[in-house]
Structure formats: C-alpha cells, structure tokens
Amino acid sequence: MRSFRKQIRHSALALVIGLLAAFTVLVYWSFEAALNRYVDSRLMTLASTLVKFINNQPNLLQTPKQEMVNIDFGGTTEEEQRSLREASHSILVLSPTGKTIWKGPTAIDRSPLPDSLLSQVQEGQIVYDTVHPPNAAPVRRVSIPVPKHKEPQYIIQAETSLRFSQEALRSLFILLAGFSSITVAMAWLGSHWVAGKALSSLKTLSATAENVTGPPFRTQLFLDPPYQEFSQLTNAFNAMLDRLQKNFEGQRHFVDHAAHEMQTPLTVLQANIEVTLQKARTLVEYREALLTNLEQVERLGTLTRSLLILASFSDDRYAVQLVPLDLEPLVQDLVGELMLLAEDQQILLTLDSQPVPLVLGDRERLKQLLINLLDNAIRYTSPGGTVVVRMGLMEDYVSIAVEDSGVGIGPEHLPRLFDRFYRADASRVKNSGGTGLGLPIVKEIAEAHRGTVTVQSEIGKGSVFTLVLPTCKDLPQSSAVPT
C-alpha cells in the first residue's frame, strides 16, 4: 500500500520542480531575448553610424587600411570613438551582388549571405543573421543596403562576436541550476516536515481509533489540529463515536426490552403448564389451560412478527417496494373492514376523503401502518366515541389523519411515543395485548416512504395521528427501493 506521507512529499517535490523548471525557462528565455535585442540594437547603432559616415566621406573606401586607425568618426565620447573604430576594422563593403569590394583591417570573409537574405537586402531591407565559424564563438552580423537612385549602391556588413553573450548565458544557466538544486533539496527536506506536521493529527486519530475495540464507545479525540479540514475530521470522528454509542445503547435496550417482552408470555406458559400437570384435570380445565396458552402463543407470535418487521427496516435497504399507488381504494377498503370491529365496541368509525394524486408506496406496508393507527384509535376510545379518518391534499403532499375522541396522551409522553417498547401507560398496553412496537413500526414505514408521521394529543380529548406522504410527481420512479 502506498504511503500517504510519501505521496505528499512526492507531490510537493513535483510541484516545486515544475515551478522551478517553468521559472528557469522563463528567466533564461527572457534574458536571452533581452541580450539578443541589446546586441542587435548596439550592432545596428554602430553600423548605421558607419553608413552615415561613409556616405559623408565618399573617399573613405579608398583610404589605406593602415590609416583607418587615425580617422575621426565623430563620436561624442571616447568610448563611442573606440567602438566605432573597432567596428570599422571589421567592416565589409559588398557589391549589390554580394561580392566583397572593400574590408576593414581586421575584417574576415565570412560565409556569404544566403540567396534568400541577399534578395531581401537587394530589396532594401536590413537583414540580421548569425554565423557559426569553426573553433570560434558565433558572430552576429547585420547587412545594411546603401541605396542610390532607389537601387543598392553597395552593402555594408558589420559584425560583433557573441562570445560575451554566450558567457553571460552560461553563467546564468549555472546560477539557475545551482539555485534550482538548492531549492529542490530544501523542498524535499521541508516536505518531510510539512508532511509530518500535517499528518500528526491523522496519527492521533489512528491511535485513538485503534483504542476503540468495542462498546462502550466513550473514547473521544481531543486535539488542536492546525487545519480546518482536520478539525472537521475530528468532529466527524467524535460524532461517529457518539452515534455508535447511541446505536449500541439503543440495541442493548432493544434486546433487553425484547427479552423482557418474550419472557412474560413464556413465564405464563411455563407456569400454566406446570400447574396443569400437577394433578388430573377435567376436560373443561384442560380447555381453559390450552386457551390461556394459545393466548400467550399468539402474543409471542405478534411480538416476533413485529421484531422481524423492525429488523427488516434496520437493514441497509428499506423493506419496501415503491410503486405508483392510489390510496383512496386502500383507505376505503381498510375503513370498511374495521367498521364492524368499531361497531362491536360501540365506536363510530367514519371516512372523510378527498381526491388525491398517486403516491409511490408499498401497498402492504401502508396497509399495515394504517391498521396500526386505526387499531390504536379504536382500542383507546371509549364506547360511544368516534374515530375519523381524513384524507386530503396538503400542498404537494397527501395527508391521512386518524382522529379519535379517546383518552388522549400526556404531553410528557409525546416526544418518546415512537420509541421502541415505549409505553405511555404500561399497564394499559399489557391489558390490551400491545407490544409497544406498533407506533415504532408506523414510523419506520412512513420514513421508508420518504414521509413523516406526527401526533397531537390532549388528555381527555383524544389524539390525532397524521401521516404525510409525497405525491408521485415529487418522487421519481428510480427512488423505489427493492426488498
């Protein structure tokens, strides 16, 4: 596995090398271009001065070469006089066809102008070229046409050695290479320190994570990271531990409650069987014992089914299949099925329904949700009371409210009403055969449908449980989750 520290160092070094390479090339190219411009400008100045002087001194070309050193070229300073005199020593005068007709005392016949450049000079253009003599530094040369009646009378060639330029460029290259080498070395050493500083928080985080071997997850990461991203990572790590601890406590409480709920009917079963077997019984007594046992078995079955349903929602995937669903016939059929049960308990069950759009839902799961809500409403409503199911459109959502005139729920119980095994009145739930899992299942099913379920209640006035589901247009088909 690759080392993140090495990756940081290599990336930093590659970045530094890239920047240095770009900087070196830019500086070297800029200096070379400036140096070439300076050489061409100085060469042009000297050559132009010589051209003017020759034009003013037409007999100059007949002057013996040995007397050229005594000519006054009219420079304003001694340096200019010396430069002009040196330039005149290497001057060449060519015919319009490129043949040498005069040259200075130290002038050397270089390679002739290429035909393409000679044609440009003949057309009146000033041409620069670089000559590379063997075993010597390159020479920069300028060719200037001297016209007469719009035709070249002759061509003046002046040149200067590029030895100084080459030495300057060589010195600059050595300087840049040395600077780059030192910078790369410092960057490599500095990247080690930077990587260590940056990853110190990760080391602490890794050590802390290794110490978290199991519940309880009360270990917290305390450090002062230098960077915002590591601070966010620290907070996320601590938040993850908090969630793990809460989940662990929730699972532990869930197991404790489940074991307790299962222990009660099992204890009743065992006690009833033991008492029944203590002596011979009549058929009526055996029948009563079996009916009691059957009641406890049914309670165990209900509890087991509820636990399996909750377990299916604890998986990484929702235990629902979302498809376009019309809620109106589902609610109407369900209210019709439970109406007889309500009448047996002298409770009036009615439906107040308005047309609503389709939703993405699982028919069986939503049916189970509504049965749980209606069963609770009927169970805790006194004879002569009412239960009303209201269905309608609330903005872009479908709402189904189950409203009863029952005993109501105290405000202190409402925040935890949907917690697993929570009972607002434990004795009442046990007497009614409840498991404390009906409303948690309602909540899980609602959330699996991207919906919500809320409750409003007041002691002595009843309760209203409201299910809100997004319409089909607000949930794309792709949001359906397979079982």
Condensed to tens digits (0 to 9), the pLDDT of residues 227-247 reads 666 677 778 878 888 888 777
Give the residue from 280, 313, 346 where a domain finishes: 313
Peptide bond between residue 58 and the one before it cis (omega within 30 degrees of 0): no
Residues 340, 263 share a domain: no
What is residue 10's three-state secondary structure? helix
Residues 261 and 280 in one domain: yes
Does residue 329 share a domain with residue 452?
Answer: yes
Q: How far apart are the first and last CA of the chain?
A: 37
The pLDDT, as a whole number, for residue 191 is 80
Position 67: which residue type? E
If asked whether residues 365 and 286 sit together in one domain, one would say: no
**Where on the phi/psi map is residue 421: left (φ > 0), alpha (ψ -120 to 50), or beta?**
left
In a domain, 243, yes or no: yes
Q: Are residues 414 and 308 in the same domain?
A: no
In-domain check, residue 207:
no
pLDDT at residue number 454: 94
Q: Nearest to residue 379, comparing CAs of 333, 445, 428?
A: 428
> Looking at residue 426, what is its pLDDT?
47
Do 79 and 137 lie in a common domain? yes
Q: What is the CATH number of the domain that holds 243?
A: 1.10.287.130
Decide if 185 is inside a domain. Answer: no
How high is the pLDDT of residue 68?
A: 43
The answer on 118 and 46 residing in a single domain is yes
> What does residue 380 show for φ and ψ, rounded to 5 degrees?
-105, 20
pLDDT tens readout for residues 391-444 = 999 888 999 999 999 989 888 888 888 887 776 654 444 445 566 788 888 998
Predicted confidence at residue 397, as pLDDT, reads 92
Exposed e or buried b per residue across 123-132, where buried means at least 16 C-beta atoms within 10 angstroms of its C-beta: eeeebebeee
Q: Are 325 and 363 in contact (CB under 8 A)?
A: yes
Q: Say whether both 309 and 360 belong to one domain.
A: no
Has residue 76 got a pLDDT over 60? no
Predicted pLDDT of residue 157 = 86
Q: Which of 49-63, 88-102, 175-189, 354-368 is least confident?
A: 49-63
Each residue of 262-280: pLDDT tens digit?
777 788 888 888 888 888 8
Question: What φ, ψ does residue 146 adopt, rounded to 5°?
Answer: -105, 105
- Distances in Å between the alpha carbon of 175 and those of 13, 179, 246, 397? 20, 6, 64, 74
- Residues 347 and 386: beta-carbon distance below 8 Å: yes
Q: State which of 272, 292, 313 marks the end of a domain.
A: 313
363 and 328 share one domain: yes
Specify the CATH number for the domain of residue 31.
3.30.450.20
- Same domain assignment for residues 402 and 464: yes
Q: Are residues 37 and 125 in the same domain?
A: yes
* Side chain identity at residue 251, one-letter code: Q
277 and 381 both lie in a single domain: no
Q: Which residues span the domain enclosing 140?
A: 4-167
The more confidently predicted of residues 182 and 67 is 182
- Percent of the chain exceeding pLDDT 90 equals 27
**Is 126 a member of any domain?**
yes
Q: Does a structural domain hold residue 180? A: no
Residue 281 maps to a domain: yes
Closest residue by Cα to residue 96 from 114, 116, 129, 119: 119
Q: How many domains is the chain built from?
A: 3
As a whole number, the mean pLDDT across the chain is: 80
pLDDT band at 7 (very low <50, low <70, confident <90, very high): confident
- Walk across the sheet containing 452-458 and list its strands: 348-353, 386-394, 397-404, 462-470, 452-458
Residue 182 lies in a domain: no
| Rg of the Cα atoms in the chain | 50
Whichever domain contains 369, its CATH number is 3.30.565.10
Residue with more model confidence, 55 or 96: 96
Final residue before a domain boundary, out of 121, 141, 167:
167
Considering the domain boundaries, does residue 141 fall inside one?
yes
